[in-house]
Amino acid sequence: MTRTNILEKRQAFKAMHADGCFLLPNPWDLGSARFLAGMGFKAIASSSAGYAWTKGRPDGQLSREDVLNHLHQLVEVVDVPVNADFENGFAVDEDELEESIGLLLDTGVAGFSLEDSTGDAEEPLMPIEEAARRISIARALIDSTGHEVVLVGRAENFFVGVPDLDDTLERLKAYSEAGADCLYAPGIRTEQEIRAVVQAVAPKPVNVLIGWDSDLTLQTLGNMGVRRVSVGGALARTAWGGFIQAAQGLTEGRFNFTNAAPAAELNKRFS
């Protein structure tokens, strides 16, 4: 992938955040990434959980090197922009964070998110000031290197068992002020919660996760002011659900592959 192509992807991705509402599906491996890009989606996003499961590991348990390699491969295998789930930056201090982000920018991703989770069940969220400082470090590095990459600030409250909307809004506003281009609070579900987030950080764009059966549509979310919608590990979980059901049938001596995709269709997609 040439630098010109990477720059074009990044500019296209940034422009997608200017108005309207777009869908950002999350593949879990290279095949699913190529399939989604081939369906006409204008951009894709990595899934930390989806990829971890392909490696036989739980979400959050992969190394920085493994994640960077995966992101580099995603960028190489599709012609559309890739947004990276970069978890909490794989860093314990500011120097390591700068190193991590520098390596991430070199993969060619068009955007990435930094979350404020710690991985510690006792203290699952970073202090707001620390998390905002990390966003500001990422912002400064993006600007100083000339990479036109979309920076997403994530408040993980609803994902880590601290579903405090007021704290979520305070965090998102702090991350916006620290330089995040787009704001994201995975786990919010209600129209009231979504509207509150959109209003709190306006006019900056907001990403909403829909990873469960929902009556909300892309049009409805767009009318609420949401700029982009991702699905996290939902596609991977759907694939695993079909696999588990078929595998369970094998343990019972049954061969139930009624939902299996035709081999000819897959071969055609990947030819």
The two tokens of residue 120 are: 């510690």
How does pLDDT run across 200-218, given as a tens digit for each residue? 999 999 999 999 999 999 9
The length of the chain in residues reads 271
- Amino acid 2: pLDDT: 75
How does pLDDT run across 176-205, given as a tens digit for each residue? 999 999 999 999 999 999 999 999 999 999
Of 106, 250, 114, the residue nearest 178 (C-alpha): 114
Beta bridge mates, 209: 230
- Amino acid 29: pLDDT: 98
Per the rule left: phi > 0, alpha: psi between -120 and 50, beta: everything else, 119 is: left
CA distance 72 to 167: 34
Local mean pLDDT, 10-residue blocks, the chain (271 residues): 85 97 98 97 98 97 98 98 97 96 97 96 96 98 95 97 97 98 97 98 98 95 98 98 97 95 95 89
The two tokens of residue 174 are: 């702090």
Nearby residues of 203 by Cβ (< 8 Å), 6 or more positions away? none
- Amino acid 201: pLDDT: 98
Of 233, 197, 251, the residue nearest 58 (C-alpha): 233
Nearby residues of 167 by Cβ (< 8 Å), 6 or more positions away? 155, 157
- Amino acid 4: pLDDT: 67
CATH 3.20.20.10 at 3-233, yes or no: no
Our measurement of the distance from residue 136's CA atom to the centroid of its chain's CA atoms, rounded to an integer in Å, reads 19
Beta bridge mates, 153: 114, 183
pTM of the model: 0.96
- Domain residue spans in the chain? 3-233
CA distance 267 to 271: 6
CA distances from 231 to 47, 100, 150 (A): 9, 25, 18
- Amino acid 1: pLDDT: 64
